[in-house]
Chains A and B, each alone.
Chain A
Amino acid sequence: GAGVSQSPSNKVTEKGKDVELRCDPISGHTALYWYRQSLGQGLEFLIYFQGNSAPDKSGLPSDRFSAERTGGSVSTLTIQRTQQEDSAVYLCASSLAGQSLAKNIQYFGAGTRLSVL
């Protein structure tokens, strides 16, 4: 597609339920990133994919959070047993290449707003 696509745009769930957030990066972009944006805060890095592998998962807040990427394209961020503090906007970004200097401009999707009741 023309840009990074995320779905759903909004998700309301009950505490304790699992949720899956989807990201469809720009075609041809090998690098994909997940960020979390809490109210009034900056963007918190969660995980980075280069192709289908995730060399950096250091930002995942707990083992309830996991992510995968298949076919070098779509990625899914899964949050198990959601808690109220997981409520935030989850943003996905992609770039042509992870560590290539000239190519690492990250382009963002519109995010998924997650509300845990």
Chain B
Amino acid sequence: EADIYQTPRYLVIGTGKKITLECSQTMGHDKMYWYQQDPGMELHLIHYSYGVNSTEKGDLSSESTVSRIRTEHFPLTLESARPSHTSQYLCASSELRESYNEQFFGPGTRLTVL
């Protein structure tokens, strides 16, 4: 069973607030990802990391930022939340190898910005 955790699970916050969504994994995976998913829709990659001190933007433009100071931790930050940021944010991780690099997903954070 995958050991990847996200907190908080649910967050309702006002416009303009700074928020950080936490993601941690205990599998020692080098690769980590952040996806944004609206209800009933597909997953959009917004950030990923190959390892410590490595971060890249994904296919979907996002106003969020990420950091990777430790292998197990990949937090996502929104400096100033807006209603358009309302969505579910899923964190995932995988091993750094060419084959069989299946991704393990955390339970997600459902964010509502009022």
Q: Are A and B part of the same complex?
A: no
